[in-house]
Amino acid sequence: MKDFVLLHICCGPCSLYPLKTLKKESIKVKGFFYNPNIHPYQEFKLRIAALKEVEKIENLEIIWDETYGLRIFLDEISFQWERPKRCECCYYLRLKRTIELAEKLRAEAFTTTLLYSPFQFHDLIKEIGEELSYLYKVPFFYQDWRGGYKEGKEIAIELGIYRQKYCGCIFSEEERFSSKKKTPLFQIPKNSL
C-alpha cells in the first residue's frame, strides 16, 4: 500500500461521512479541493471556509486550489447547460484534475466525496472515475457513501459546518429557485415568428 488515497472534496459537509469511513478502514487520506463549478464567488468562499473548519476538526491535510473558476467551468461545459450532460462535463473536469495530482503525488488511489451525495449522478461519477483510472493507471477507489448521507448531514449540523443549498454551479442555483421549465438560451419562441 502506498502512502495515501487522494480524496477530491467538493465541500465540508460532504467530506465528513467519507472521512469517517476511511478512518475506520485505517486508510490514510489527503484531501484535494478543486471545484471551479462553485458559483457565485461568495458561495465559493463560504464553502472554502467550511472545509477549512473540517480540515482543523479532522486534522486533515488538504491540497487547495482556491482559484475561482467561472471561466474554466463554462469552457468545460461548452454550452451543455442541462443535466446530466453539464454534470458529466463538470465531474470529468474535477476528477481529471484529481487523478493528475494523484499521479504526480504517487497516491495509492483517488476518489471523490461526490459519491456521497444522493443528488449527484452516482453511476456517471463511477464511470468517469473508472475511465480515468484506466487512462492514467491510478486506481479509482470506489465507495458508495450515499447510505451515510443522513448521518453525515447530522454530523455537519452538530459541528455547525455551513451547509449549502445547491450543488454549486450557477445553473443548479437557478434550478433551486425556479420550478418553471426553462427555455434554452438562444431559442426563439415559436409564437414570436
Burial 170-182 (b: 16+ CB within 10 A, else e): bbbbeeeeeeeee
11 is in an annotated binding site: yes
Beta-strand relationship, 5-8 and 62-64? unpaired
14 is in an annotated binding site: no
DSSP H or E segment with residue 6: strand 5-8
90 is in an annotated binding site: yes
10 is in an annotated binding site: yes
Q: Which amino acid is at 57?
A: I
Q: In what order do the strands lie in the sheet with 109-112?
A: 62-64, 29-33, 5-8, 109-112
Binding residue positions for [4Fe-4S] cluster: 10-11, 87, 90
Q: Which residues are annotated as a binding site?
A: 10-11, 87, 90
